[in-house]
Every structure is written in structure tokens, then in C-alpha cells.
């Protein structure tokens, strides 16, 4: 199989370097990435932060933030900061996994439908439209309730399985227009296989767009996962920001005024998802300089 190797070093190095330079000069990209990196570091460090787990009863009950417990303790004496750090960690995992799965499925369906056209396209587009109008969250509730979610990976697969249709639509439309360009014909005349053509000719032309798509899916998956966790449908035994809110609400933290319990998880989600969106706008400015005037 000679044609499964990546193409020789004839890639757009100069262009890439230019984009990279522009991206690192864009304040939105920088701000977004700094927030994301900081929280990621916190999430990665979560297991090292303290000797106890997120659900261990380690301190006095319902204590406000203090030097010992930075974010205070829950009604049951659990360390909110440890819960938060662990929640951030699983938030990243679910976002990356579910966003990745959604992007992968959406791109595959979109590329194949757009490239092959004809009956294949009709069938794939029909499936895409069906999943698109299906209210994903309601279906996820049923699936999670019956099938059960036993791990973050499992949850990501479910979320990714319903988040791809709009990606497939957009990728299909772009593939459709790229497919009729003559450089694709030229590759075919050179005997390059369809999958290789999609990977080496069509894909790279949509590279920046695909990155933006992934970022949006990343953020959306985080919100969906938090919602499922909040309904108590998350992986059991896995601390998450949604579960923190669920437990706080169930334990009447609002009435009891334990604000340090229910504020951090929301702030964490807003920060991560907001930072993703800000990075996205910044990158959009870089990739589509036309909008930069504004």
C-alpha cells in the first residue's frame, strides 16, 4: 500500500507558521488558552492535591472557605476544593472524548456523503437529518436511565453519538464543493484512493474549520455531560461538576446558604466553556481575516 503513507514534506509549512504566529498574537486566543491551561493544570493535579478523595468526610460540616479548606466543606464535611478539582478533571475528559467522538463521526459521515454523493449521500443525509431533529437530551436521558452510564468514557460515547449531525451537514456541504474542484480529479487521475483523497486533498482544505468545529463540540459536550450528571445520570462514584450541583441542591444548600458548595462548579463550567468559545472567536479572526475589521 504505497498510498497510505502521508504525503512528503510538501505541506503548507509557511502558512501554518504564519497562522500560528497570528494566533499567538491574538488576545482572545491567548486569554482563552491561559484559562483553559490553568484549569487543566488544576484538573491534572487533582489526585495529588490532598490525601483524601472527593467524597471522603474529612472536615467539619458546612464550613465556609478557610485556610484548611479553600472552598469550604459540604454539608457532610467533604472538601469542596477537592471535589471541584476532580470535577474539572472529568469535565476535560468528557469534553475531549465526547467532542472528539462527535467530530469524528460527523466528519466521517460528512466526508463520505459529500464525496460519494448519489444514493450513499441520500441515505447518510437522511440519517443525519433524523438524528438532527431528534431532541438529543431527551433521548440521552432514556439511554442513561436504562442502559446506565458506568464510566466517563461510556458517557462520552453516548453524548458523541448524538452531537455529530450538524458537523456532518456542514462538512458534507464543504466536501461537496471541494469534490468538484479539479485538483481532486487530478488526484484521481494519479490513482490516489478515495480515502486518501479525502485525507490529503479535501481534509487539509477544511483544517481550520474542523478545529473550530471540534472546539464548539468540546464546549457543548461539557454542558450536556454536566446536565446529565445534574440529573443523577452520570457515572456512579465519579465526582463531576454537575454532580456537585445535584448534591448541593438535594441537600438544600440554597436554603442553608452554603454558597461555596454550589457556586464553584458553575463557575468552573462557565470558565471552561466560555474560554473555549473565546478561543474559538479568536481563531476565527485568525482564519477568516475578513471579520477582523470589526
Partner 1 sequence: MGRYFGRKSIVYALTCIVAVTINWLVPRFMPGDPVLQMLISRGPDTNPEQTAVIMDYYNRLFGFDVPLWQQYLNYWGALFKGDLGVSVWLFPTPVADVVLRALPYTLGLLLPAILLSWFLGNKVGAMAARRKWLDNSVLPVGYVLTATPYMWLAILLAWSLGIVAGIFPTAGGYGFDLQPAVSWEFASSLAMHWFLPFLSLFLVAFGGWAIGMRNLVIYELESDYANYLAALGAPPRLIRRYAFRNAILPQVTGLALQLGVLVGGSILTEVVFAYPGLGNLVFQALLHRDFFLLQGVVLFIVIGVLVANFVIDVVYVLVDPRTRAGMQGVSA
Partner 2 sequence: MLRLNRVWKTYRVGAFGTRELTAVRDVSLDVAPGEVVSLIGESGSGKTTIGRMVLRLNSVSQGRIEFDGTDVSTLRGRALKSYYRKVQGIFQDPYSSFNPIFKADRVFDMVRRQFFAGTPNATWHGKIEAALADVRLDPAQVLNKYPHQLSGGQLQRMLIARALLLDIKLLIADEIISMLDASTRIDVMNLLADLTSRGVGVLFVTHDLALGNYLSTTTVILRRGVIVEMGATDKVFANPQHPYSTHLLGSVPHLHKKWSQVEAELARHDARLGPCGYHAHMPGRCGMPPHDPDQPMLAEIEPGHVVGCSYDQPLG
Interface residues with partner 1 (CB under 8 A) are: 126, 129-130, 132-139, 141-143, 145-147, 166, 176, 219, 223, 226-227, 230-233, 242, 245, 248-249, 254-255, 257, 259, 262-263, 265-266, 269-270, 273-274, 276-278, 281, 290-291, 293-294
Burial degree of 50 (CB within 10 A; 0-12, 13-18, 19+): middle
Query: Interface mask (CB under 8 A) for partner 2, residues 211-240, using x and -?
Result: ------------------------------
Contacted entry of partner 1, partner 2, none for residue 51, CB cut-off 5 to 8 Å set by kind: none
Instruction: Give the integer Cα–Cα distance in Å for 34 and 284.
Output: 18
Q: Which CB sits closer to partner 2, 79 or 201?
A: 201
Per partner kind, with CB cut-offs from 5 to 8 A, the member of partner 1, partner 2, none near residue 137 is partner 1
33 or 187: whose CB is closer to partner 2? Answer: 187
Write the binding mask 112 to 151 for partner 2: x where contact by CB under 8 A, - elsewhere.
Answer: ------x---x-----------------------------
Cell numbers at residue 235, please?
457515572
* Dihedral (Cα; 81, 82, 87, 89), 10-degree rounding: 120
Q: How far is the CB of 180 from partner 2 (least distance, A)?
A: 9
How is 165-230 classified by DSSP, letter by letter?
A: HHHHHHHHHHHHHHHTSHHHHHHHHTT--HHHHIIIIIHHHTHHHHHHHHHHHHHHHHHHHHHHHH
* Rounded Cα distance, 219 and 210, in Å: 14
Q: Judge contact between 160 and 143, C-beta under 8 A.
A: no
Q: Using CB distances below 5 to 8 A depending on partner kind, what does residue 118 bind out of partner 2, partner 1, none?
A: partner 2
Q: Which of 138, 142, 190, 293 binds partner 2 (CB under 8 A)?
A: 190
Supply φ then ψ for residue 242, to 5 degrees.
-65, -40
Q: Which of 18, 68, 150, 185 binds partner 2 (CB under 8 A)?
A: 185
User: What stretches of 62-193 show up as alpha helix (H) in DSSP?
Assistant: 80-116, 118-133, 136-146, 152-163, 165-179, 182-189
CA distances to 48, 79, 86 from 52, rounded to whole Å, are: 9, 9, 11
| Count of residues of this chain found to bind partner 2 when the rule CB under 8 A is applied | 25
Nearer to partner 1, 205 or 227 (CB): 227
Quick one: which of 1, 8, 51, 67 contacts partner 2 (CB under 8 A)?
A: 8
Rg, C-alpha atoms of the chain:
22
Buried/exposed code over 11-26 (b: 16+ C-beta within 10 A; e: otherwise): eeeeeeeebeebbeeb
Q: Report what 5 binds from partner 1, partner 2, none; CB cut-off 5-8 Å by kind.
A: partner 2
104 binds, among partner 2, partner 1, none (CB under 5 to 8 A by kind): none
* Residue closer to partner 2, measured from CB, 5 or 290: 5
Q: Which stretch binds partner 2 (CB under 8 A): 1-9, 66-74, 75-83, 167-175?
A: 1-9
Angle subtended at Cα 215 by Cα 282 and Cα 207, rounded to the nearest 5 degrees: 80
Residue number, 237 or 289, with CB nearest to partner 2: 289
Partner residues linked to 79 by β-bridges: 73
Binding site for partner 2 (CB under 8 A): 2-3, 5, 7-8, 10-12, 15, 118, 122, 181-183, 185-192, 201, 204-205
Amino acid at each position: 500500500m504505497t498510498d497510505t503513507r502521508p504525503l512528503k514534506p510538501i505541506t503548507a509549512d509557511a502558512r501554518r507558521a504564519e497562522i500560528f504566529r497570528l494566533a499567538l498574537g491574538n488576545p482572545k486566543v491567548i486569554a482563552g488558552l491561559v484559562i483553559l491551561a490553568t484549569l487543566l493544570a488544576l484538573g491534572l493535579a487533582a489526585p495529588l492535591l490532598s490525601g483524601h478523595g472527593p467524597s471522603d468526610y474529612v472536615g467539619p460540616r458546612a464550613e465556609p472557605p478557610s485556610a484548611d479548606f479553600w472552598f469550604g466543606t459540604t454539608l457532610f464535611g467533604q472538601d469542596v476544593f477537592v471535589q471541584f478539582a476532580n470535577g474539572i478533571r472529568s469535565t476535560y475528559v468528557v469534553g475531549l472524548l465526547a467532542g472528539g467522538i462527535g467530530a469524528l463521526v460527523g466528519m466521517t459521515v460528512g466526508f463520505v456523503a459529500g464525496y460519494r454523493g448519489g444514493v450513499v449521500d441520500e441515505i447518510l443525509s437522511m440519517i443525519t437529518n433524523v438524528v438532527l431533529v431528534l431532541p438529543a437530551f431527551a433521548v440521552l436521558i432514556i439511554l442513561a436511565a436504562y442502559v446506565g452510564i458506568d464510566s466517563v468514557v461510556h458517557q462520552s460515547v453516548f453524548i458523541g453519538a448524538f452531537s455529530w449531525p450538524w458537523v456532518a451537514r456542514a462538512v458534507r456541504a464543504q466536501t461537496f464543493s471541494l469534490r468538484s474542484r479539479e485538483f481532486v480529479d487530478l488526484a484521481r487521475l494519479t490513482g490516489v484512493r478515495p480515502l486518501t483523497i479525502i485525507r490529503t486533498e479535501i481534509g487539509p482544505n477544511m483544517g481550520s474549520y474542523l478545529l473550530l468545529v471540534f472546539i464548539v463540540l468540546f464546549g457543548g459536550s461539557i454542558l450536556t455531560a454536566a446536565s446529565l450528571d445534574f440529573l443523577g445520570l452520570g457515572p456512579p462514584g465519579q465526582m463531576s461538576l454537575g454532580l456537585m450541583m445535584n448534591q448541593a441542591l438535594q441537600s438544600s444548600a440554597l436554603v442553608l446558604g452554603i454558597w461555596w458548595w454550589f457556586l464553584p462548579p458553575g463557575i468552573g463550567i462557565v470558565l471552561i466553556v466560555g474560554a473555549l468559545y473565546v478561543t474559538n472567536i479568536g481563531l476565527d479572526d485568525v482564519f477568516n481575516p475578513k471579520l477582523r475589521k470589526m
